[in-house]
Each structure stands twice: as structure tokens, then as C-alpha cells.
């Protein structure tokens, strides 16, 4: 009897162990297949190429759908490479752009990708009834408003020249770089022959967005196991050459587990900054793992302290004092282990329009104290510093900022809340200082944040006439050389007025298995990897 029981126990244990080990086999497929596993922290809620909810969704979308061009940053210059389009020309008027679609570009069902599909994509995004978060991609087109929406029936600046060729016209002359970045690299083209008959207001909820089987990218959708993984298969007929990897999994996995998987060699690459990267606490450790490369590079995103401009006591001298008081070098060197850069403005140091001559205010508590004295700072006043939860480094930086401000005589009370509550409180003006992050972009036009009354101007609600004037001029000037002058001046004014104290530009901290090569990244969205170029050696 007891022997039988023992055998049963052994059998059950064996089954349990098998249960723990076998799921790993799910990634294997046939042994000979070249399989790559990528990891991100949270699940996407759909795969809509024009309206998925988050960077998580777009990470998955980018394997299956292409924009017209890919944007890459090379030595502080934005460069564009073919994706769906093989050629593009900029008109002498800085307003007309002609695109030619790659002759072999085709949908996963074999139909060619045509100018008609691009028009359909533009019409969908610009339709006031359609739900989309790609409005910015088309907002520069003639006939559309600043949110990228059209008046039904009104003509728009899009002309089909042939099955694979079209011409677009912008409302006003624009910097070609700005246009190619937004329209060219941020808009994923959708198939007209599949979605053309769906009413625009129902497109977002169409079953296709959960099961996007007809894409045009290097990988085809196989399945999505909710909250577990997205499975993708190579597109043998990809027009830029079939990828070298056969099967690809995007796993949804929390940071701690991700780190363990990387150590075990079960994960080939992290999805990227903000959606799946290496925690700062694990950074030194990941560098010691022999089978992966730890890859850090500067990102355009930055964290900042925003001042509530509705508070008269937060005047310019006080804002300057705050900039002097915060020990930003300490935050960067200790908290971020040097994996960050400092700049006194919203234009990223890695981007073409960055003004190198604007130096960040030094950490100087004595100077801060004298500025406060000049401003007649009331030592009895307590400032409310709002901090959102979720970004652990930002939360830690709040403790340092508070200590720094207290040290120069500014009393600070920290309020931590979840992110939606945090933003609601800022919108309601219920704060003095708040910590927020912004994912900067290659184009220097930052009017959405700093122009009086613009879409994101509620962050601080500043109204600085000189800044408004420069932002308007910059937007209306297509010539890159003239633009540079304008934005150089803008950055000087920014550092002087300090609507934000920029804390740091955090580097991306990614991991790529050594067996993988040719993993390039581009600057679209969150600086993601160009998926089609990936190569991997068998394990």
C-alpha cells in the first residue's frame, strides 16, 4: 500500500515538474526553427495600427505593419530609410511630397500595397468619427485641422498619381524632417481591401484589431494568448527580404521575472524603454551576464518638475532657486548610475536642434538661498509636490528633491498618487510642483506644451509671450537653417524662464542576446527596434 502511494507521489511530482518545465517547450516549435523571444511588461489591449492603447500595443503592431519610412538617428541627424515607400521627393515649395511605394510591397494575403491603401489610412485617421491616436501623423496635411481631422466632403491634400505613387500637400510650408517623421514614420498603413467597407466609427472595435492577419510587415500574426504572449511567424515574401528568424514571441512578463529569464537565457531581447527594459537596480548585474549584451543609449524622453504658473509666489527667481537647489548631478550619478544626461530644456541633447550653448544651472544651494532671499520667500510656506507612482526612479528622486529644497529653506510636502489621479490634480491646478515625464520627439516643435492655451499647456499652464512668439515662428519656418536660429533662441528663453526644471534624460537600458545581430533601433515612438533586420544564430 505504502509503496503504491510512494509511486503515486513520484508520478504526481514528475507531472508537476513536467508542468513547470514543459511550457518552455511552447517557445520551441520544431527544434530546427529559429525562435526569438522578446519581453515586455504589460499586455496590449488590441493591435489596431492606428489606435492601439499604448506603446505595448505599438510594439507588437510594428512587427506586422509598416509605415512609409523608418526614421533613424545617426550622429545627431535624423535619417530616413525605405519601409513601404522605396522613394520620396520633397518639392521646392517645402509643401509637396511625392512617395513611391516599393514595387514588391504586398499584404500578407498576397495583394499589393497601393497608394489607395495609404489614402484609405489617411481618410480613416482623419475621419472625425474614427477613434485614433495617430492624429499627429496627418495633422500637417492640407484640408485637415490641427488635430488631424477633416470636415466631411472637404478636399484634402492627397493625390493618387498611379497604383504605387501618390503626392501629399501640407497646409503650409514645413521642415521636411518634421513631415517625414510624423507622416512618414508614425503612420502604419492598413489594408483597404479588408477594412474598406467597415463604417469608420466601428473600425476600432472591428475583430481585425484582435486578429490582424493581413499586415504588410516582416512578420505575420499567428495568435495572441491573452496576457501571456503574441506569436508571430516570418513573412517569406517580405519585400525587403525575408527575415532570418522564423518564429518570434513577444512575452508579457513583469520586470523581476524578466531579469530571471534573461539570466537563464530564455529571453533574447527586451522591448525597450518604458515598456520592457532593465531596472536600474539590475543594471550592473545584467552587464555581467555572459550571453547577453547590455545596451544603453540616450533617449529623447525626459523627467521634469513642473511649476504651477497660477501660483504668483512661484516667480522666476524662485523657479531659478529650485533649479539651483536640486542636486541633479547626484540624481544622475547615484540614482541613475550615470545612465542619464542633463540638459536645461525640452529639446533632447541627442536631437538635431539641441542648443549646446545653453548650460544647465549648476547645483548651488548658496545661490538658491540668495535668490530666495531676493524674491522675499516666505519660509513658512509649504509647497505641495505631487509625485505619481509607477516609475520607481522618479519616486526616489522626489525624496532627494524634497531634501534639497528643505536644505535651502523651501518647505515641501510630497503627495504620491496613482498616475490618473496625479494628472487630474494637475489639470485642476491643485499643486505647486509636480513630477512628470515627457517622451520628447526629434522635431523641435514643442508648442503643444509651452504655447499658451495649447493641448498640453495645462501642464504648468504657463503663458510666456516671448516663448509663444518663437514657437509660432518656428512652426511657420520650413527652412532648417532659419529654424535652428529660432529654436536656439527658444532654448535660451526656456532656460531663463524655467517653466520646467528638467531633471534628466534617462538612457534606454536594453538587453540583446549575443546570438542576435543587426538589431537597429529607430527613433519612432519609444525608440523601438527595427524588427525586419534582426538576425540570430541558433541556440
If one asks whether residue 284 binds other proteins (CB under 8 A), the answer comes out as yes
Among 119, 123, 233, 400, indicate the residue that binds other proteins (CB under 8 A).
400
Cell for 339?
Answer: 545612465
Cell for 238?
Answer: 517580405
Stretch that binds other proteins, among 49-57, 159-167, 397-405, 480-488 (CB under 8 A): 397-405
**SS3 assignment, position 277:** coil
Q: Would you give the binding string for other proteins spanning residues 211-250, x where CB under 8 A is met? A: ----------------------------------------
Stretch that binds other proteins, among 8-16, 238-246, 254-262, 524-532 (CB under 8 A): 254-262
Give the distance, in angstroms, between the CA of residue 159 and the centroid of all CA atoms in the same chain. Answer: 31
Stretch that binds other proteins, among 267-275, 280-288, 470-478, 526-534 (CB under 8 A): 280-288
Of 414 and 454, which CB lies nearer to other proteins in the complex structure?
A: 414
Query: Smallest distance, Å, CB 263 to other proteins?
Result: 8
Among 259, 292, 341, 343, indicate the residue that binds other proteins (CB under 8 A).
259
Q: Would you give the binding string for other proteins spanning residues 416-455, x where CB under 8 A is met? A: xxx-xx--xx----x-------------------------
> Following CA atoms 83, 87, 90, 92 in sequence, which dihedral angle do they give, to the nearest 10 degrees?
180
Three-state SS sequence of 459-520 = CCCCCCHHHHHHHHHHHHCCCHHHHHHHHHHHHHHHHHHCCEEEEEEEEEEEEEECCEECCC
If one asks whether residue 303 binds other proteins (CB under 8 A), the answer comes out as no
Give the distance, in angstroms, between the CA of residue 291 and the centroid of all CA atoms in the same chain. Answer: 28
Burial of 117: CB neighbours in 10 Å, binned 0-12, 13-18, 19+: buried
Among 402, 451, 483, 521, indicate the residue that binds other proteins (CB under 8 A).
402
Of 263 and 468, which CB lies nearer to other proteins in the complex structure?
A: 263
Query: Smallest distance, Å, CB 285 to other proteins?
Result: 5
Query: Smallest distance, Å, CB 261 to other proteins?
Result: 10
Of 243 and 276, which CB lies nearer to other proteins in the complex structure?
A: 276
**Closest of 361, 337, 341, 357 to residue 349, by C-alpha:** 341
If one asks whether residue 382 binds other proteins (CB under 8 A), the answer comes out as no
If one asks whether residue 210 binds other proteins (CB under 8 A), the answer comes out as no
On whether the CB atoms of residues 231 and 224 are closer than 8 A, the answer is yes
On whether the CB atoms of residues 245 and 35 are closer than 8 A, the answer is yes
Among 132, 136, 327, 510, indicate the residue that binds other proteins (CB under 8 A).
327
Q: Report, in this order, helix, strand and coil percent for the chain, each rounded to 5.
A: 35, 25, 45
On whether the CB atoms of residues 524 and 70 are closer than 8 A, the answer is yes
Of 6 and 392, which CB lies nearer to other proteins in the complex structure?
A: 392
First to last CA, the chain: 46
Among 201, 374, 378, 403, indicate the residue that binds other proteins (CB under 8 A).
403
Q: Which of residues 18-57 bind other proteins (CB under 8 A)?
A: none
On whether the CB atoms of residues 88 and 57 are closer than 8 A, the answer is no
If one asks whether residue 260 binds other proteins (CB under 8 A), the answer comes out as yes
Query: Smallest distance, Å, CB 506 to other proteins?
Result: 16
| Number of residues engaging other proteins in binding (CB under 8 A) | 35
Among 116, 145, 167, 395, indicate the residue that binds other proteins (CB under 8 A).
395
Among 9, 223, 310, 334, indicate the residue that binds other proteins (CB under 8 A).
334
Stretch that binds other proteins, among 71-79, 158-166, 172-180, 259-267 (CB under 8 A): 259-267
- Radius of gyration of the chain from Cα atoms? 25
If one asks whether residue 398 binds other proteins (CB under 8 A), the answer comes out as yes
Query: Smallest distance, Å, CB 47 to other proteins?
Result: 29
Cell for 237?
Answer: 515574401
Of 13 and 430, which CB lies nearer to other proteins in the complex structure?
A: 430
Using CA atoms, how far apart are residues 326 and 377, in angstroms rounded to an integer?
A: 17
The DSSP secondary-structure symbol of 343 reads -
Query: Smallest distance, Å, CB 204 to other proteins?
Result: 27
Query: Smallest distance, Å, CB 233 to other proteins?
Result: 32
**SS3 assignment, position 293:** strand
Using CA atoms, how far apart are residues 182 and 401, in angstroms rounded to an integer?
A: 36
DSSP result, 411-425: EEEEEEE-HHHHHHH
If one asks whether residue 415 binds other proteins (CB under 8 A), the answer comes out as yes
DSSP result, 120-158: HHHHHHH-TTS--S-HHHHTTBTTB-TTS-B-TT---SE
If one asks whether residue 287 binds other proteins (CB under 8 A), the answer comes out as no
DSSP result, 348-403: -TTSTT--TT-PPPP--HHHHHHHHHHTT--TT-EEEEEEESS-HHHHHHHHHHHH
If one asks whether residue 396 binds other proteins (CB under 8 A), the answer comes out as yes
Among 9, 76, 382, 389, indicate the residue that binds other proteins (CB under 8 A).
389
On whether the CB atoms of residues 134 and 125 are closer than 8 A, the answer is yes
Of 160 and 279, which CB lies nearer to other proteins in the complex structure?
A: 279
Query: Smallest distance, Å, CB 53 to other proteins?
Result: 20
**Closest of 180, 208, 205 to residue 193, by C-alpha:** 208
Stretch that binds other proteins, among 78-86, 141-149, 206-214, 256-264 (CB under 8 A): 256-264
* Residue ranges binding other proteins (CB under 8 A): 255-256, 259-260, 263, 279, 281-282, 284-285, 327, 330, 334-335, 387, 389, 392, 395-396, 398-400, 402-403, 413-418, 420-421, 424-425, 430
Amino acid at each position: 500500500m505504502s509503496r503504491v502511494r510512494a509511486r503515486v507521489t513520484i508520478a504526481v511530482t514528475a507531472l508537476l515538474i513536467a508542468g513547470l518545465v514543459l511550457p518552455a517547450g511552447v517557445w520551441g516549435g520544431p527544434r530546427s526553427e529559429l525562435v526569438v523571444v522578446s519581453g515586455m511588461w504589460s499586455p496590449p489591449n488590441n493591435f489596431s495600427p492606428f489606435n492601439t492603447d499604448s506603446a505595448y500595443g505599438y510594439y507588437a503592431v510594428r512587427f506586422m505593419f509598416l509605415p512609409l519610412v523608418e526614421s533613424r538617428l545617426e550622429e545627431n541627424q535624423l535619417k530616413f530609410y525605405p519601409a513601404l515607400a522605396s522613394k520620396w521627393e520633397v518639392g521646392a515649395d517645402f509643401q509637396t511630397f511625392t512617395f513611391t511605394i516599393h514595387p514588391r510591397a504586398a499584404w500578407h494575403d498576397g495583394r499589393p500595397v497601393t497608394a489607395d491603401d495609404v489614402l484609405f489610412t489617411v481618410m480613416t485617421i482623419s475621419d472625425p468619427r474614427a477613434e485614433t491616436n495617430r492624429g499627429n501623423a496627418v495633422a500637417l496635411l492640407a484640408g485637415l485641422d490641427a488635430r488631424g481631422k477633416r470636415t466631411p466632403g472637404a478636399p484634402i491634400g492627397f493625390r493618387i498619381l498611379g497604383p504605387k505613387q501618390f503626392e501629399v500637400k501640407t497646409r503650409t510650408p514645413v521642415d521636411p524632417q518634421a513631415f517625414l517623421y510624423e507622416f512618414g514614420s508614425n503612420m502604419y498603413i492598413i489594408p483597404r481591401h479588408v477594412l474598406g467597407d467597415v463604417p469608420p466609427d466601428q473600425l476600432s472595435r472591428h475583430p481585425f484589431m484582435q486578429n490582424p492577419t493581413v499586415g504588410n510587415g516582416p512578420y505575420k500574426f499567428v495568435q495572441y494568448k491573452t496576457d501571456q504572449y503574441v506569436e508571430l511567424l516570418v513573412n517569406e515574401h517580405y519585400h525587403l527580404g525575408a527575415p532570418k528568424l522564423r518564429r518570434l514571441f513577444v512575452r508579457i512578463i513583469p520586470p523581476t521575472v524578466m531579469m530571471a529569464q534573461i539570466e537563464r537565457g530564455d529571453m533574447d531581447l527586451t522591448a525597450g524603454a518604458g515598456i520592457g527594459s532593465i531596472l536600474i537596480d539590475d543594471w550592473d548585474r545584467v552587464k555581467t551576464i555572459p550571453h547577453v549584451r547590455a545596451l544603453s543609449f540616450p533617449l529623447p524622453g525626459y523627467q521634469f518638475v513642473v511649476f504651477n504658473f497660477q501660483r504668483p509666489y512661484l516667480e522666476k527667481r524662485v523657479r531659478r532657486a529650485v533649479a539651483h537647489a536640486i542636486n541633479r548631478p547626484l540624481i544622475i550619478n547615484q540614482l541613475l548610475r550615470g545612465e542619464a544626461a542633463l540638459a536645461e530644456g525640452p529639446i533632447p541633447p541627442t536631437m538635431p536642434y539641441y542648443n549646446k550653448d545653453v548650460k544647465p544651472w549648476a547645483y548651488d544651494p548658496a545661490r538658491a538661498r540668495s535668490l530666495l532671499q531676493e524674491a522675499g520667500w516666505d519660509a513658512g510656506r509649504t509647497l505641495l509636490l505631487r509625485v505619481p507612482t509607477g516609475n520607481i526612479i522618479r519616486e526616489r528622486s522626489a525624496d532627494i528633491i524634497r531634501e534639497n529644497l528643505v536644505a535651502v529653506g523651501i518647505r515641501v510636502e510630497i503627495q504620491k498618487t496613482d498616475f490618473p489621479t496625479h494628472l487630474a490634480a494637475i489639470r485642476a491646478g491643485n499643486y505647486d510642483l509636480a513630477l512628470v515625464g515627457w517622451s520628447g520627439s526629434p522635431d523641435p516643435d514643442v508648442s503643444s506644451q509651452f504655447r499658451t492655451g495649447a493641448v498640453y499647456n495645462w501642464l504648468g499652464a504657463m503663458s510666456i509671450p516671448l516663448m509663444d512668439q518663437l514657437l509660432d515662428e518656428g512652426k511657420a519656418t520650413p527652412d532648417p537653417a532659419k529654424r535652428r536660429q529660432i529654436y536656439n533662441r527658444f532654448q535660451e528663453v526656456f532656460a531663463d524662464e524655467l517653466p520646467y526644471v528638467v531633471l534628466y534624460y534617462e538612457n534606454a537600458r536594453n538587453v540583446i542576446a549575443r546570438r542576435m545581430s543587426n538589431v537597429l533601433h529607430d527613433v519612432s515612438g519609444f525608440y523601438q527596434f527595427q524588427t525586419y533586420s534582426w538576425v540570430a544564430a541558433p541556440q
